[in-house]
């Protein structure tokens, strides 16, 4: 048995090296196929215009984002505008159907979720952010062969991405719901209809499922890369 230990150690070392190399290759291919590392590092702002479908209804909306973590979502609902935003410190909304026409801080649980959102690609310089990644193997997603990569963020949040083996782009992401009625359940976000925008490859269709049931669909109609955006656009409105 002891004579076999060196062989076992060599085999384990080789297996680990292959896994690490494969993981690096996956992420390198991903960035190469979606625009390149330098382009992703140069991304400062985005504005996405499209439609959101949920609860049997469809709404027009605009999602504006700015590095490092500012975001503003505007949705037209029954002729009225619902706004939800985070300026880097305060999460707020204007929701005529819940709190009236004036801007208000969002509920604490919702605020915590909004504060976790990051503008930058989670795999970009992930080690500097304190995140870790792990290759979990291969798995088919709706008939497509994928490579399963686990991303653990510094705060402990875990997301599992499924990269198409042919094109090395994520076609699905799993995460645990941490708030609301679905708390504790696993959400699956599907990415498809990748299109080129100023040298970046971005998904133009997203679908969210919980327990296999579709809960939300987002159809992107237009993406603007690095449009001018003032910080004040995200700030809590002053009375």
Supply the pTM of this predicted model: 0.86
| CA 236 to each of CA 40, 119, 161, 168, 187: distance values in angstroms, whole numbers, following the listed order | 28, 19, 34, 39, 30
Output the pLDDT for position 94.
93
pLDDT band at 21 (very low <50, low <70, confident <90, very high): very low
What is the set of domains in the chain, with CATH numbers? 2-233 (2.50.20.10)
CA–CA separation, 234 vs 103, rounded Å? 12
CA–CA separation, 101 vs 108, rounded Å? 20
Burial bucket for residue 2 (CB in 10 Å: 0-12, 13-18, 19+): exposed
Residue 5 pLDDT more than 70?
no
Output the pLDDT for position 3.
41
pLDDT band at 110 (very low <50, low <70, confident <90, very high): confident
* pLDDT per position as a tens digit, 45-60: 999 999 999 988 999 9
| CA of residue 236 relative to chain centroid, distance | 24
Rounded to the nearest integer, the mean pLDDT of the chain is 89
Mean pLDDT of 89-113: 88
pLDDT band at 145 (very low <50, low <70, confident <90, very high): very high
């Amino acid at each position: 048995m002891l004579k076999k230990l060196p062989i076992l150690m060599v085999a384990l070392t080789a297996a680990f090296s292959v896994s690490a190399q494969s993981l690096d290759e996956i992420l390198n291919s991903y960035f190469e196929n979606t625009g390149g590392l330098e382009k992703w590092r140069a991304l400062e702002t985005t504005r996405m215009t499209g439609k959101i479908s949920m609860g049997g209804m469809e709404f027009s909306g605009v999602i504006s984002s700015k590095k490092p973590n500012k975001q503003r979502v505007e949705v037209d609902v029954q002729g009225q505008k619902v706004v939800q935003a985070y300026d880097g410190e305060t999460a707020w909304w204007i929701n005529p159907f819940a709190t009236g026409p004036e801007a208000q801080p969002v509920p604490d649980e919702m605020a915590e979720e909004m504060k976790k959102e990051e503008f930058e690609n989670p795999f970009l310089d992930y080690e500097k952010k304190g995140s870790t990644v792990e290759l979990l193997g291969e798995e088919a997603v709706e008939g497509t062969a994928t490579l399963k990569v686990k991303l653990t963020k510094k705060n402990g949040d875990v997301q599992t991405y499924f990269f198409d083996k042919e094109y090395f782009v994520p076609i699905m992401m799993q995460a645990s719901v941490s708030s609301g009625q679905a708390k504790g359940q696993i959400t699956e976000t599907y990415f498809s209809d990748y299109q080129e925008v100023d040298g970046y490859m971005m998904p133009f269709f997203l679908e969210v499922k919980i327990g296999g049931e579709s809960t939300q669909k987002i159809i992107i109609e237009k993406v603007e890369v690095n449009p001018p955006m003032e910080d004040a656009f995200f700030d809590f409105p002053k009375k």
